[in-house]
Structure formats: structure tokens, C-alpha cells
Structure 1
């Protein structure tokens, strides 16, 4: 089955991104329930490999991870965009978590892409069924390209199955793993 490991977005961040998506008038908008930050795309993974990965993820030392949107971008080119994304600050903790997940996935026998980690949340997709309107996309990026959020603590990550349908991918949570939270300091 197609699978991936992703940070689950905190509710405050989901709401901010959903409000942002309401201004996007082109592409196939990603459903709010499907917004996430992929740590590792596992591709077609067998049950045994997913079990081994799950075992590693349940014992993985948790580190505090915060998510902060630092602006919008397109993946692909201006003339042939594939995605509109919200870029996420590439903090040392997030990069460390990504590396831990990829090491665990490879140890479970999964062959992962070796692309550079570019933390982001996909807001919309373009393709044969959802062509880009260049003017609408340019207007959206001009109006909202500088979109940012404060850092928000992520509370969990999950192992997900992904099923492709004619209406886009559908995700099913296979397991959820808590993340450590940054310490709370008293004010004053």
C-alpha cells in the first residue's frame, strides 16, 4: 500500500491554512482534513516493512517540534506549476525528526527517494484535471505570498495509507505517535 509518515498539523495552523485556501481560485484545493507535513513518503510499502517501521516509531525518542509557516511557493515552474505550498521553517528539530524517520524507514527495508527535505504543506495541486489559471495564481501569490504564522508546537505525527482516487488521494491514519512538547515557562 502507498504510505507516508507526516506531522499532524495543530488545529490553529489548520484553521489559518484553511482560511488562506479560501482565497485560492485555481487548482484542486487539498481538503483541510488532508493537510499535513510529510516527513517521509514511503511509496508502495509491504505490511511487514510497515510493521517494522511502526515498531521503530513507537520507540523513537520524542523531540519538541514547532511549525512556522514562512511564506508561499510553487513547486514546478511558473508556466507549469504542480503545487502551491506553504513553506515551513526548516528548524534543526524538524530536520532531525525527518532524518530519524528516514533512517527507521530504510532500516525497515523501504527504499526512499533521496530528494532534499523541503518542509511544506501542499495547499493545491495542478495537473490534467486541474489546470492552473496563471492570472488567478499570480494574484493569489501577490496577495498572500508573504503569509506567515507564529511557531506552533506539533503534538503528533502519524503513519498514513494513501489511496489514489479520481478525486485525489484519500488518507487513512494507520498509527499516531505523540511528539514531545516544548517546556512551558511561567510568564513574568
Structure 2
């Protein structure tokens, strides 16, 4: 089974707005708009039996749909930037959905996620971009904010073992109430 993760899909119109932020940063490998998403829980490479158990377990999630908004651009990596992203505005519903999935994955025997959860949409992965170049890029894009959008479901994505950025395949979709 390929590498798995759960995520929230980005609506087409929000993705179109994000795609307008592409360009103007050397060393950036821009993510294709159809691959924009907000990761909920990275699972990783698992065998087929574990993948089936994950799919079944995620089907037990019963949460209401909610609204999200992207608010601001930033970068991961500090003095050695490795990605540019759009931040997700604080959302209790999103954090609860993430926490529930974390508990479920641990319950079926997967290890805890090692990093603090910072919801975001990756726009570009960086190679050899200086912190000054990234700061200039972020400064020229001004304060980005998307329209509010409804989250009607989350999905289980698979990806092939690569450098990242897609293509991603929806293995299962789970409606929110």
C-alpha cells in the first residue's frame, strides 16, 4: 500500500486564489493546485491489512462539518527555509478532528505523531532559497486571507514514494455531519 495520510481538501475556488501566489521565488518547487490540502494526520507507509484497519476505523468518526479560512503566509525552516505555506486560521473543530484521528491511529497501534500540529496548505517546497529571498517573497504577497469555506468531509489520501507534492489519490472519503 502506498504512503497514507488524512486531509481536508481545498475547494477549487480557494485553490485558484492560492495558485495566484505562485512564482517569484527561485529554488521553489510549486505544488499543483489540485494537490492543495490541509493534512490532518500523516500515517506513512503501511501494509494492506493496516490500511484496511485504518479505513474502517476512520469510518467511525462522527463530527459535524465546519468552516475554515486560510489566514496568512509563512515558511517552515527558519534560517534554512524548506517550505512556504498558507496558514489555517485557528479552528476548534479542526483541532478536535485532528486530535480524534491522532487517538484513533494510536489505538490501532501506530506511533504518535512526533511534531506539534500546525494546520497549513503547502504552496512550495524550497531548495537553495535563502531566508532573505523567502522573507522578500512573503513581504511582497502582503497579508493573504482566503474566503471562508465549508469542510463537508475529510479524506484518506495515498501518495507514491516521492519527494512530496503529489499526485495524491483519494482512497476513501468520510462525510462530516
What is the Cα deviation at residue 169 of structure 1?
Answer: 4.1
- 1:105 alignment partner in structure 2: 105
Q: Secondary structure at the match of 1:12?
A: helix
Q: Deviations over 1:86-143 (max 9, x none)?
A: 00012110000001111121122222323211110000002xxx32155543332112
Q: TM-score, normalised by structure 1?
A: 0.84
- 2:48 alignment partner in structure 1: 47
Q: Secondary structure at the match of 1:59?
A: coil
Q: Secondary structure at the match of 1:123?
A: strand
Distance 1:32 1:76 in 2: 22
Matched length: 175
Q: Is the 8 A contact 1:69 1:88 kept in 2?
A: yes
Distance 2:142 2:88 in 1: 13
Q: Does 1:67 align with 2:68?
A: yes
What is the Cα deviation at residue 65 of structure 1?
Answer: 2.3
- 2:80 alignment partner in structure 1: 80
Q: Is the 8 A contact 2:87 2:119 kept in 1?
A: yes
Q: Is the 8 A contact 1:42 1:112 kept in 2?
A: no
> Which structure 1 residue ranges, 5 or more long, are not aligned?
181-188
Distance 1:61 1:108 in 2: 18
Q: Does 1:144 align with 2:168?
A: no
Q: Which moved further from structure 2: 168-177 or 141-150?
A: 168-177
Q: Deviations over 1:63-90 (max 9, x none)?
A: 222221110111001x310110100012
What is the Cα deviation at residue 167 of structure 1?
Answer: 8.0
Distance 1:66 1:14 in 2: 16
Distance 1:28 1:178 in 2: 32
Q: Secondary structure at the match of 1:150?
A: coil
Distance 1:121 1:110 in 2: 24
Distance 1:167 1:11 in 2: 21
Q: Secondary structure at the match of 1:98?
A: helix
- 1:184 alignment partner in structure 2: none
- 1:117 alignment partner in structure 2: 117
Q: Does 1:94 align with 2:94?
A: yes
1:132 pairs, out of 129, 134, 149, with 129
